Amino acid sequence: MAREGGGNILPLSNCKVEFLDKCDGNKVWIILQDNKEISGNLRAHDENFNMIIDNVREFENQKNVGQRESILLSGQKILMVIPGSEPNYSE
């Protein structure tokens, strides 16, 4: 599973933009603290992980607990971002 032999570790700044840009249809899946998750379409973001997300679905403990049209998500509570993906929890 490891890329043995490794390679160069790139500075994140370019990488992060490219990483988020390649989201399929801008889909993004965001893991927050306390077993909360958000999925939706990424409209905009800044370097502090703040994001505007459309077509939002909210999850708690892997259960869908709500939908929202658009939100401004604070980057401070984000644990990780998974681009081009969405949860496939049964609803």
Which residues bind to a second copy, rule: CB under 8 A? Answer: 1-13, 15-16, 19-21, 23-27, 32-34, 38, 41-46, 49-52, 54-55, 57, 68, 70-83, 85-86
Which residue number, 80 or 90, has a Cβ lying nearer to a second copy? 80
Handedness of CA 87, 88, 89, 91 (dihedral sign): positive
Give the shortest CB-32-to-a second copy separation in angstroms: 7
Give the shortest CB-90-to-a second copy separation in angstroms: 16
Rounded Cα–Cα distance for residues 12 and 14 (Å): 6
In this structure, what are the phi and psi dihedrals at residue 20, rounded to the nearest 5 degrees?
-75, -30
Rounded Cα–Cα distance for residues 40 and 69 (Å): 9
Give the shortest CB-12-to-a second copy separation in angstroms: 4
